[in-house]
Chains A and B, each alone.
Chain A
Amino acid sequence: MMKFNCEIAIYPRFKKGSGFNKDFDDLICGVTKRVKNIFEIEEKSENMIRRLYFGSDSCIKQFYRSLPPLNELRHLKEEGYDITIVTPPLFETEIKKIFDCLMKIQDKVGEIEVVINDFGFAFYLKEKFFEKKILGVLLNKSLRDPRITMLFDSVITDKKDLFSMAPFSSQYFKNVLLEFSIDGIEFDSLIQGIDTKSFWKKTFFGIIHFPYLHVTKGYSCFWAGYYKKYGKFISDNKEFCNYDCERFGFEIEDGKYKYKMVGNQVLFPVKECVLKKILDDDCENFFKRIVFNYI
């Protein structure tokens, strides 16, 4: 099993069949939503898991759904776990509600880290205090199209390095992130690699998601369409949600690649070697944390 020289964090809601090392896979699939087996993970894992992720980067309904009761969160905090709350893109009327929710958690549980996936929310939180503010993986616009990136080493040769540079490599974007008081930046385990040389390691730190790439996300949710007679998939249909994404998903096969469609997202699993190469190439030690985003 691979030993990581950085912090390990998990979304405690794993399923079997992640494609990662089998032992680790067997280990984490036993974890329930309520983190009952967290101690078992630590016992068997070579890395201590000290940070837990709750919330959702893609769905407001799942954001609320995935939050454990405050007393459980407080208990986890008392046990020494750091807590990260992940927020999705937010419509006008949701911003204050989510902020109030975060404040309530912080009041009852203690300091929390917040992952932001909406620039409006980042602006809203500009002067608000949290343990850390992280720019979420949805605001990282790096290319995650396996159809293209898988070809980089064979067919396409011109300027492919541009795709391993981050959207945040510009000085101008750095100013934006400083203005929003961002501490860390999330990345997917990009097939094309991640060139961390141009990042500002002293200013921000990197967090890498594994094993799923966030390929794309719908406005509407496939499963909510099940309950609508007309206009099933047009625009925001979350009011028709019945949490079916927790029970069902799709594997999409195109003969070459296998994607997963879960709720409103299409994801693509990458192999462990992709993560390993990214970390090996990160001689600047930019990445300080890996988040296992098993679904």
Chain B
Amino acid sequence: MKIIVPISNHQEVEMLVQNGADEFFCGFVPEEWLNRYGGLFWLNRRGPVSGNITDYDELEKLCREKDKFNIPVFITFNAPYYTDEQIVFIVKLIKELKETFNIDGVIVSDLGLIEAINSEIKNIRIHASSLMGIKNSYFADYLRAKGVNRVILPRGLTVEQVLTLRKSIVKSEIEVFILNEGCVFDECHCNTSHKTFGAFCNYLRNKTFKLEQRSGVLEGKENFQKKIDKLLSDYMEWVYYVNGCDNTLNEKGIPNGLCGLCYLKIFFDAGIDCVKIPGRSMSSFKKLISLQLVKALLDGIEQNKINESNISSHAKELRGFSEGCRKKIMCYYTYE
């Protein structure tokens, strides 16, 4: 099982490799894109600057470093969609990145772009982004026929669903989320933008939710309203955790945010190919400490020191047991 980690500059390469990174992913937004499309239409799911590399010099240095350590790097092109003109631009860019900088592959979310890459570029790995919402093997098989080597499963699946998909998706590698950044809404069907106002889910946190009765009779109104108020309060607490408790660290210095570490052994045994630590705009420190956490558990699993029955206690000890852990509101997955 590999660990894929976000990277933002060449200085992070050695540090992350030494601490167990097997693969890197990053965003690259060249100046030409900004000149053409301004700051409004993003080349990937992150803003033009935040979490992206923006100049060729830095990309060249990063790729030189990754080649030195023989670690693959994948560039993210996961905007919800691209126009014809943009696809032509991106295909040309990918060709250039592959030929000049020896990038190893791309992470893509638009079917049109996958079609274009498959017909225009040879010998490049394609990973289907979680934004494609792949929840069945029929979609994965279709993508495999289009040259997609790996599918990144969306957040929001149960452990059982991940295991079912592992059994039925036989032709492609599978990557799952394991630590940090979450989404309240289904990333595949969230038609909002993080631009200017931030994530829509986080934006809703301090808004007024007024209960509307759509049909039927409301019995025991007062008591019911209290229950709804409690449910809303639980919901807002969950939204807070999904958004990394406003990007804070816990008392052990570990980033707050979603976590699937308790299920790492199950995923390992099931043959999940790769676990992802998302967060391209995280600081180097957060990337490092998150990676060390996942790597420590994975090493324990590979050395048979950690099994299904003790992984939760190991994870909680390493990460620091928190209120979110107790209430199971910082879990990526449920497992009944």
Residues in chain A within 8 A of chain B (CB atoms)? 15, 58, 89-95, 118-121, 123-124, 138, 141-145, 147-148, 151, 156, 158-160, 162-163, 165-173, 175-176, 198, 213-220, 222, 225-226, 230-237, 245-254, 260-262, 266, 295
Given contacts A167-B81, A247-B216, A250-B209, contact A120 B115 (CB under 8 A): no
Chain B residues positioned under 8 Å from A234 (CB to CB): 238, 328-329, 331-334
Asked if residues B333 and A171 are in contact (CB atoms below 8 Å), the reply is no
Residue count of chain B within 8 Å CB distance of chain A: 78
Kindly list the 8 A-B residue pairs having the minimum CB-CB distance in the complex, ordered from nearest.
A219-B156, A120-B139, A167-B81, A173-B112, A158-B38, A141-B80, A120-B138, A172-B112
Asked if residues A252 and B208 are in contact (CB atoms below 8 Å), the reply is yes
Tell me the minimal C-beta distance from B22 to chain A in angstroms: 26
Asked if residues B189 and A214 are in contact (CB atoms below 8 Å), the reply is yes
The number of residue pairs between A and B whose CB atoms lie closer than 8 Å in the complex comes to 240
Asked if residues B115 and A176 are in contact (CB atoms below 8 Å), the reply is yes
Question: Binary interface profile of B, 132-144, with partner A (CB < 8 Å = 1, else 0)?
Answer: 1111111111100
Tell me the minimal C-beta distance from A119 to chain B in angstroms: 5
Contact pick for B191, options A95, A143, A235, CB 8 Å: A143
Asked if residues B207 and A253 are in contact (CB atoms below 8 Å), the reply is yes
Tell me the minimal C-beta distance from B222 to chain A in angstroms: 15
Chain A residues positioned under 8 Å from B228 (CB to CB): 248
Q: Provide the bound-state CA to CA distance between A220 and B38, in Å.
A: 35
Asked if residues A15 and B214 are in contact (CB atoms below 8 Å), the reply is yes
21 A–B contacts, CB within 8 A, in A order: A91-B135, A118-B139, A119-B111, A120-B135, A121-B136, A123-B141, A143-B192, A147-B197, A148-B192, A167-B112, A172-B112, A173-B115, A216-B192, A230-B327, A232-B329, A237-B334, A247-B213, A248-B213, A249-B214, A250-B211, A251-B209
A sample of 17 more A-B contacts (CB under 8 A), given A89-B135, A226-B231, is A141-B81, A142-B191, A147-B192, A151-B196, A158-B39, A163-B41, A167-B110, A169-B84, A170-B84, A170-B87, A172-B113, A216-B190, A217-B189, A231-B328, A234-B331, A234-B333, A248-B213
Q: Can you name the residue of chain A whose Cβ is closest to the Cβ of B135?
A: A91
